[in-house]
Amino acid sequence: MPFRKEPPYTHGTPAGTAIVLVNLGTPDAPTTRAVRRYLKQFLSDPRVVEIPRAVWWFILNLIILPFRSSKSAEKYASIWTDEGSPLKVNTERQATLLRARMQERGHRVQVTYAMRYGQPALPDVLDSLKAQGCDRILILPAYPQYSGTTTASIFDAVFSHFSKVRNVPELRLIKHYHDHDAYIQALKASVLAHWAANGQPDKLVMSFHGVPKRTLLLGDPYHCECHKTARLLATALGLKETEYVVTFQSRFGKAEWLQPYTAPTLQELARQGVQRVDVMCPGFTSDCLETLEEIAMEAKAEFLHAGGKEFNFIPCLNGDAAWVQGMMEIAELHMVGWPTMAGAALREEEKKQAEISAEQARRLGATQ
């Protein structure tokens, strides 16, 4: 098997550590050509579409790409900013803020970002880190809830890339953080901040990205993890079961997907007399086409057309300070044992951990 060309190994070179924040991806531009190129890469992934390859090749190349690319390009154009794709802008900002927070904390680590589809391509980022001497790499997916269609695809790409590398770095991959307290608390803070400015709605709708129902029946934990996130957030907010609802968006094709579907649910709520809804997307950590166009534009129009009076979209966490802190805590949890902290910071952390251990021992003794 041919291996990738690598920089020569130098004995005694200190090993570096890196964190790679990996998101789904985005077209390079809101044009038909760029969107077609992106969709072809995305929809060619067998993790994303589990249809026999020969059949799917025909459907994808002769039906979907010729007809869907221009329509998708129009949608991307409706959310595109002067800085570019919102998903890319937000993901890059998260990586920049996380890098600064890790440095403040005393960690000597590189923090960068990559896309599973599109640019910057994950294999290129991994090659760059290895060339810079990073022999410890932590993969942090932008997906809080694990799914074979998303998180596992990132893992596939990482393993495939390093299967052609002779000197493989130490790898750690974060599977999920759907129930991590720092993530839940960041979501809670964003909702409370929105309510402080706008008041509380009749119903909070938590819309997660959908996947085919068969993935649940075949053992994918995504559905359960979405509901656990919603349950923990509702508890943190002090909501009753009647005050929030969990839905799934972005259904594609004729097969049954996870239900209830977001758009029909919003229409039904309006018909039932619900005057105001606030909608958030806890499965996305960065705003993107699925949140800014599908929810904040399309879903809003459908709710109001069905008789609803007020629709508010609560933005994703993006570069929120509480979420940057949350990412750091999640990363630290998975970097235990890696020598990333400088002398003074390391001693301070060891002191802190010793104090925590002593306090835990004191409490244990007091209960006996």
pLDDT on residue 3: 81
pLDDT range class, residue 355, cuts 50, 70, 90 = low
Distance (Å, rounded) from C-alpha 199 to C-alpha 196? 6
CA 61 – CA 246 distance, rounded (Å): 34
Pair 209, 257: CB distance under 8 Å:
no
Q: Would you say the CATH fold of 181-313 matches that of 16-30+80-176+321-345?
A: yes
Binned at pLDDT 50, 70 and 90, residue 42 comes out as very high
Q: Is 209 labeled as ligand-binding? A: yes
- Look at 144-153, 225-234, 237-246, 349-358 and tell me which has the smallest mean pLDDT: 349-358
> Please, which pLDDT band fits residue 252 given cuts at 50, 70 and 90?
confident
DSSP structure class, residue 264: H
Which strand (E) or helix (H) includes residue 178?
none
pLDDT for res 365:
65
At 180 the three-state DSSP class reads coil
Q: Are 283 and 141 spatial neighbours (Cβ–Cβ below 8 Å)?
A: no
Residue 341: band (very low, low, confident or very high) from pLDDT cuts 50, 70, 90: confident
Torsion of CA 62, 211, 183, 300, to 10 degrees: 80
Does CATH number 3.10.50.40 belong to domain 16-30+80-176+321-345? Answer: no
Interatomic CA distance for residues 222 and 284, integer angstroms: 13
How far apart, in whole angstroms, are the C-alpha atoms of residue 140 and residue 315? Answer: 21
Residue 3 or 168, more confident: 168
pLDDT digits (tens, 9 = 90+) for 301-329: 999 999 999 999 999 999 999 999 999 99
290 is in an annotated binding site: yes
- CA–CA dist 75, 289 (Å, integer): 7
What is the C-alpha separation between 368 and 359, in angstroms, rounded? 15
Burial class (CB in 10 A: 0-12, 13-18, 19+), 104: exposed
Please give the Cα distance from 100 to 94 (Å, whole number). Answer: 10
What's the order of all strands across the beta sheet hosting 244-249?
A: 244-249, 203-209, 276-280, 310-313
In order, the DSSP letters of 294-350 are IIIIIIHHHHHHTT--EEEE----TT-HHHHHHHHHHHHHHTTTS--B-HHHHHHHH
Backbone angles phi, psi at 2, to 5 degrees: -70, 135
Name the phi and psi angles at 216, rounded to 5: -65, -45
- pLDDT for 1: 61
Q: What is the CATH number of domain 181-313?
A: 3.40.50.1400
Q: 342 or 39: whose pLDDT is higher?
A: 39
Question: Is the predicted pLDDT of residue 357 greater than 70, yes or no?
Answer: no
pTM (predicted TM-score)? 0.90
Domains in the chain: boundaries: 16-30+80-176+321-345, 181-313
* Residue 152 confidence (pLDDT) above 90: yes
In sequence order, which residues have a C-beta less than 8 Å from that of residue 287 and are 6 or more positions away? 86, 87, 90, 315, 316, 318
What are residue 187's phi and psi, to 5 degrees?
A: -60, -45
